[in-house]
Structure 1
Amino acid sequence: MAAPTHTTVPASPAPVDNVPAYRTDLDGLRGIAIALVACFHIWFGRVSGGVDVFLALSGYFFVGSLLRHAIHSQATHVTFRDTIDPWPRLKRLLRRLLPALFTVLIAVAVLTVIVIPQTRWVSIGKELIASALYYQNWHLAFNSQDYLAASSANSPLQHIWSMSVQGQFFLVTLLVALAFAALVKLGARLIAPLADPRVIKVLVGGAVFAVAAVSFYWAHMRMGVNQQFNYFDTLSRLWEPLAGGLLAIWLPSWRVPRWIRTVAAVVALALIITCGWWIDGVDSYPGPWALVPVGSTLLIIWAGATALERPRAGATGPQALPPVNRMLASRWPVWLGTIAYSLYLWHWPLLIFYLTWREKDHASVLEGVGLLAVSIGLAWLTKRYIEDPLRRGGRGEPAHARRDGRARLMGYTSVVTSILVVGTLVTGTGIVLWDRHVSTMVVDTKNLDPRLYPGARALLNGAPVPAIDPQPSPLMVTQDFPETSTDGYMSNFEDPDIHVGVYGDPTATKTVALIGGSHAEMWISALNLLGQRNHFKVTTYLKMGCPMSTELVPKQNGVPYPQCHDWVMRVKKKVIEDKPDAVFTNSTRPRDYQPGDWVPPTYPPIFDEFLANDIAVLGIRDTPWPHNAKGLIDTPTCLADGGSATECATSRAAALAPEDPALALEATRPMFHALDMSDGVCDVDLCPAIVGNIVVYKDWHHLSATYVRSLTDELGRQMALALPWTGPPAP
């Protein structure tokens, strides 16, 4: 949601050479938009629509400027080289955008080391790189980040996605516009009318309209497919700046009564200010509902533009504007608009770092006022001492901007640029080194001394727990994957194939098929040991986020996941054809909006098909998904941030029903066997984050492979009660 950058020219009382007058009222509109963005982020946890205002304004200024270049370049005195040379405009863009951005990125890197737990350094480091290279929106899209209410778990760079969209829009539009101007200049040598400004407007307007229409259709269609991805998608967002561009190309010059312009501007501003409350932007933008802030922005631009073109008698400049536009052109909205870019950059990371430092998910009214004041102060300092000096010195700058002398300006510019470049290089190097350090860490806990690290045995058997640091460490446990993940037998979300792995005793005649999603996969670390001990084979049929269910359109993090249903149906058929002696899969899952767990009604039909084919079903009860009154718990991060085993724990009563819900299935299906490891993960009251000197969870809700291995004996005991050939387990 970056504020759009200036692409207009210095103020003049009336249009000169088709260059529009400087619109201070649009600076004020930026100010209103950035105030909405910051306030909605800090206090309301909603999308305000301010980003859509920024995108429409950016398109209006940028496309209008490029159109004037395309028309001007047809003049005989303009060389072909000047027509196609992107560097002058690109240089101005870089000088305008990068200094403030790099300043904030360096600050984020430093504060990350100071405030954020080490478990999050790698992910934030990757976002620093993505933000600096203007692909943060794609990074978030492919990682399915929710852009909802701020909390301490959010990335301090999540807001840079909109700057990436704008940067991509600026670059592609610039190159296309220059190529178009060059083609027209060449074509005019054969077809003279091509150089006519009216023809150029028609050609450019038609092309922009076509691309905008495709983008709008794409944005609307993708809402029902993958809205989380759609929200960040550049193609889905493209129609918003192009709508502003269309207004710049075909700005109506109708003679409209002043009162109509006034009413239109009042209604438009009211819609911009209020739409954040009555439109759920995260679920609705950039689909048709985004027409509200975008269309309102265009109305305000139009109301002011027509007033300046045909002012009242005796009215010039701002006095010719309708009342709303005059209000927007007043001192404080304009001042806020001049710092909008830097304010946008600063407010979100300050909010996230503060919430993380205070271990809170929401800022109070007083805290929000303080954060907003600090953000405004830093934005003004950034503009005054970094943005403005580095923007000066180009052709067309007023003489007073160079009154201190070019030498002094160049010296200042060199110092600031050097600080930014060196800081960025140091930051980037640190990110690369830390990423390499984490990526090369190997979790080797297969031979832990059970007397020092009893794990689940501390709960199940009362094993003593010596006072030593837990394993794996909170930083390393994030790499504690089950064997199937590291061996490549886990199909990812996009992979439709069935990858069958073989574990346990590959030569055995008895087989247990492990099937389902990641919450089935995590048990391979124990099943592999049990198969080796008791001489049965374990075959795996696994796909991320895909439990064995008949649900036609399952969802993953709220996003439709139709590939899962197709995969489940094919796996079910293949497992029946492969004819294992038993299948091992999840029988329950947590309830979404109330305490406890349950057997989803879409699970038993799958079980029944296996049972009908004389295949026993071992239904493993899902383990608790860590959470507390504040929300979900990322166990490694909670521990790395100084939390204890109990401070990062989950209430057993909130996570689990009093007894395994799958027992009802066992009572009516003789070959269905319910397995329940809950007593190995939770005591009577709590499900701790560390048990028996082993960290229980590797992330938000998956058991660490090390902890699963500590559950091997208990899992084997329960399996042997159901299927004697799987045990008895070794003591």
Structure 2
Amino acid sequence: MHAPTDRSTDPPAPAPTAPTKRSGPTTASGPTTTAAAAAPAYRTDLDGLRGIAIALVACFHIWFGRVSGGVDVFLTLSGYFFIGSLVRHTVHAQSARIGFGETISPWPRLKRLLKRLLPALYTVLIAVAVLTALVVPQTRWLNIGREIFASALYYQNYYLAQNSQDYLAASSANSPLQHIWSMSMQGQFFVGALVVLLAVAGLIKLAGRRLPALTRPGVIRAIFAVIVAAVALASFAWAQYRLHIDQPFNYYDTRSRLWEPLVGGLLAIWMPAWRVAAWFRNTVTVVALALIATCGWWLDGVAQYPAALAWVPVGATLMVIWAGQVPAGQSLPAANRILAGRRAVWLGSLAYALYLIHWPLLIFYLTWRGTERATFAEGTVILVVSLGLSWLMKRYIEDPMRGGGRSALRYIRWPAHPRITYTAILTVALIALSAGTAGAIKAWDRHMSTVAVDTANLDPTSYPGARALLEGAPVPALDPQPTPLAVADDLPQTGPDGFMSDFAATEPAVGVYGDPDGAKTIALAGGSHAEMWIGALDAIGKANGFKILTYLKMGCPLTAEPDPTRLEGTPYPECRVWVDNVMAELARTRPDAVFTNSTRPDPAGPADHVPAGYVGIFDELTAQGIPVVGIRDIPWPHGPRGAINTPECLAAGGTARSCGTDRATALHPIDPAVDYAEGNPLFHRLDLSDGVCDADRCPAVVGNIIVYKDYHHLSATYVRTLTRELSRQLAAALPWAGPELP
């Protein structure tokens, strides 16, 4: 999926579960009201498990660029603590003199959640906004600003899910807030569980007046277990189903993730009280910890979670919880005692702050250094700094704001004004800084709304574009157009017109361009790398009297490949169905030619190649007597550090050359489609590489026009400067499509 690495899609935030030090039982929602709620003895070994989990998350992020099982540990623990608290509250509400309103009121728990979560989160979001302005190119400010809002309002997971569906939003891949998606998912879970289960508690309270049997603890637990299990089963089935339909969205989807905390909640509702030997419990914990620690190496979480294989870390967490829930009088297994050790528990107490801090720190460091990976030494420093900042966050922000005797700072008062406390000052500061950050983001959003692409009438002598390479046109010293801030919106006209089908579509949306009354027809078919050429083809069609019909779908070239995938490698079955439907339509309408891509970057090595799936399409069309015009794909910008987002590179101070690509690493000296063209007279190859690259380099700016609008799509403005050369080559292949433009 993405630059800098697959880390950018990685894990969720630690659950805001119980604090590490207190005298009575506490849950994610806060302490239970009285001992009558029958909360289990506090489990410090689970705090240690959180410490292990956050260590895995941070280390896998920083050193290995993989998804660990740590996040799933947090999700499972969240459900165990939170649902367990709600069940105990319901049992207590039936046995004590607690009114109906108090039984169903979510505010006490919601207030504790807000005090637990928001101060640290908003502190990090403010810091991210400041560092973005200092470190990140302006081309990314708009997206990060919107992610700050999405994170603050707990819908970041769906913001990212929607953007992962947007084939044109590749520049968001390195977000310093990518990791907040899991906190958004957990926040949605907490609120949903709170509302639903407190409503159930209220119904039990009302019905219990006529049916006293409903108020028995065992019956209450059974009711909750049925509800939680039903939702968990539905969520798991949805996750498994969507795994093969739309995994990029599935990964972030709360509906797919719900089962993970819910099965933890089921264990809180019913804990098997099996009497087994201590050695067996110890073995269970050791095996479970081994699974949690290693599953990041042998499972690809990005491609496989939250479906069936997520049971590995989730099930292992349940095993640790069960193994440490020993009968009265029996000591903890040795492995659980190690988890309850001072260092592991201390690390667990920092889990929330450490999760919030380590990922932005890593991303800003990589952005500042202009690299994709941190070395082992750099990663170690990032971890140490993250730990130090997390300790400061917990001591000076989290604990004082949470209260409950966690911090002496809470009781510091301004001598002259006793009502002015440390927490009051901190609260005002956070509110003021958050409001200022929101205002600055909105101001930048308004500014960006005024930035528009206006290049339709550029003076060709001042902005020759591709003609500088193809015809040796002189290039005056002018700033390039569109600007780096605007070029991302320099789109082919088919997108705004509604003729670029999205990822979910299986039926083509056909657009009509060129001369609608033309006697001849070219079908432009494929993905966005075919779509790029519509601006030039439209002008050629109008000038030469032929019609262009478009059959376009995001990320879906015309291919005979049986199981196509997206760029990130996830299955793309909608593409297979869409291509079959397009091919049936082409066979029915029989256009005079089909215009599509003939090459693609070679995944097995440098330069480009003709994929076997493309050849299958060429064979099928030409066998029906339909000519194929295959245009060689453009170079995809890259350098020693990986893929290059051209606007970002230029906005960060790069030049046309430094943001460009060595031609030899992107293109073979000879078009790879030559051999196929020589053997099939109905296949006509086009190669406009010399209009994008010189003999050695494919620059980011040519003829005062920015060549690319993102990682691998030409700007619509630059495509228009290739119109004359495209017309010349097209007329040579299809004489009726000429004469070439003057």
Q: TM-score range by the shorter chain?
A: over 0.9
| Equivalent residue number for residue 317 of structure 1 | none
Question: Are 2:709 and 1:698 equivalent residues in the alignment?
Answer: yes
Quote the offset at 1:614 in angstroms: 4.5
Question: Are 2:592 and 1:572 equivalent residues in the alignment?
Answer: no
Deviates more, 1:207-216 or 1:99-108: 207-216
Which of 216, 240, 244 is equivalent to 2:260?
A: 240
Question: Are 2:644 and 1:624 equivalent residues in the alignment?
Answer: no
Question: Are 2:351 and 1:340 equivalent residues in the alignment?
Answer: yes
Question: Are 2:45 and 1:45 equivalent residues in the alignment?
Answer: no
Quote the offset at 1:41 in angstroms: 0.8
Q: Deviations over 1:409-438 (max 9, x none)?
A: 863333222222222222223223323332
1:482 and 1:145 map into 2 onto residues whose CA distance is 18
Query: CA contact under 8 A between 1:402 and 1:409: conserved in structure 2?
Result: no
Q: Which amino acid aligns with 1:249?
A: I
Deviates more, 1:44-53 or 1:278-287: 278-287
Quote the offset at 1:302 in angstroms: 2.4
Which of 595, 606, 614 is equivalent to 2:617?
A: 606
1:489 and 1:728 map into 2 onto residues whose CA distance is 28
**SS of 1:490's equivalent?**
coil
Deviates more, 1:327-336 or 1:116-125: 327-336
| Equivalent residue number for residue 719 of structure 1 | 730
**SS of 1:709's equivalent?**
helix
Query: CA contact under 8 A between 1:152 and 1:353: conserved in structure 2?
Result: no
**SS of 1:225's equivalent?**
coil
| Equivalent residue number for residue 642 of structure 1 | 653
Question: Are 2:274 and 1:254 equivalent residues in the alignment?
Answer: yes
Question: Are 2:481 and 1:471 equivalent residues in the alignment?
Answer: yes
- Identity score, percent: 61
Quote the offset at 1:235 in angstroms: 2.2
| Equivalent residue number for residue 163 of structure 1 | 183
| Equivalent residue number for residue 271 of structure 1 | 291
Deviates more, 1:576-585 or 1:666-675: 576-585
1:276 and 1:495 map into 2 onto residues whose CA distance is 33
Deviates more, 1:326-335 or 1:58-67: 326-335
| Equivalent residue number for residue 432 of structure 1 | 442
| Equivalent residue number for residue 586 of structure 1 | 597
Query: CA contact under 8 A between 1:30 and 1:340: conserved in structure 2?
Result: yes
Quote the offset at 1:73 in angstroms: 0.8
Question: Are 2:540 and 1:522 equivalent residues in the alignment?
Answer: no
**SS of 1:515's equivalent?**
strand
| Equivalent residue number for residue 115 of structure 1 | 135
**SS of 2:95's equivalent?**
coil
Q: Where in structure 1 are there 5+ consecutive unaligned residues?
A: 313-319
1:225 and 1:502 map into 2 onto residues whose CA distance is 30
Question: Are 2:279 and 1:231 equivalent residues in the alignment?
Answer: no
| Equivalent residue number for residue 51 of structure 2 | 31
Quote the offset at 1:161 in angstroms: 1.2
2:741 and 2:307 map into 1 onto residues whose CA distance is 59
Normalised by the length of structure 2, the TM-score is 0.91
In the TM superposition, what are the counterparts of 1:112-261 in structure 2 within 5 Å?
Answer: 112-144=132-164, 154-261=174-281
Which of 479, 484, 488 is equivalent to 2:498?
A: 488
| Equivalent residue number for residue 556 of structure 2 | 546
| Equivalent residue number for residue 310 of structure 1 | 328
| Equivalent residue number for residue 678 of structure 2 | 667
Q: Which amino acid aligns with 2:584?
A: K
1:354 and 1:401 map into 2 onto residues whose CA distance is 32
2:286 and 2:509 map into 1 onto residues whose CA distance is 61
| Equivalent residue number for residue 316 of structure 1 | none
2:516 and 2:688 map into 1 onto residues whose CA distance is 26
Which of 96, 99, 103 is equivalent to 1:83?
A: 103
| Equivalent residue number for residue 318 of structure 2 | 298
| CA 1:321–1:667: 2 relative to 1, 3 Å | same
Deviates more, 1:111-120 or 1:571-580: 571-580
Which of 458, 462, 474 is equivalent to 1:452?
A: 462
Quote the offset at 1:163 in angstroms: 0.8
Quote the offset at 1:608 in angstroms: 4.3
Question: Are 2:10 and 1:10 equivalent residues in the alignment?
Answer: no
| CA 1:77–1:560: 2 relative to 1, 3 Å | same
**SS of 1:216's equivalent?**
helix
Deviates more, 1:200-209 or 1:253-262: 253-262
Q: Which amino acid aligns with 1:220?
A: Q
Query: CA contact under 8 A between 2:659 and 2:699: conserved in structure 1?
Result: yes
Deviates more, 1:294-303 or 1:233-242: 294-303
Query: CA contact under 8 A between 2:399 and 2:406: conserved in structure 1?
Result: no
Q: Which amino acid aligns with 1:623?
A: I
**SS of 2:228's equivalent?**
helix
Deviates more, 1:667-676 or 1:688-697: 667-676
Which of 80, 84, 93 is equivalent to 1:64?
A: 84
Q: Which amino acid aligns with 2:735?
A: P
2:287 and 2:575 map into 1 onto residues whose CA distance is 46
Q: Deviations over 1:189-209 (max 9, x none)?
A: 111110000111122122222
Query: CA contact under 8 A between 1:588 and 1:622: conserved in structure 2?
Result: yes
| Equivalent residue number for residue 282 of structure 1 | 302
| Equivalent residue number for residue 416 of structure 1 | 426
Deviates more, 1:383-392 or 1:532-541: 532-541
Query: CA contact under 8 A between 2:411 and 2:421: conserved in structure 1?
Result: no
Query: CA contact under 8 A between 1:342 and 1:379: conserved in structure 2?
Result: yes
| Equivalent residue number for residue 315 of structure 1 | none
Quote the offset at 1:106 in angstroms: 0.8
**SS of 1:286's equivalent?**
coil
| CA 1:570–1:255: 2 relative to 1, 3 Å | closer
Q: Deviations over 1:79-116 (max 9, x none)?
A: 01100111111111111111100110111111111111
**SS of 2:317's equivalent?**
helix
| CA 1:480–1:604: 2 relative to 1, 3 Å | same
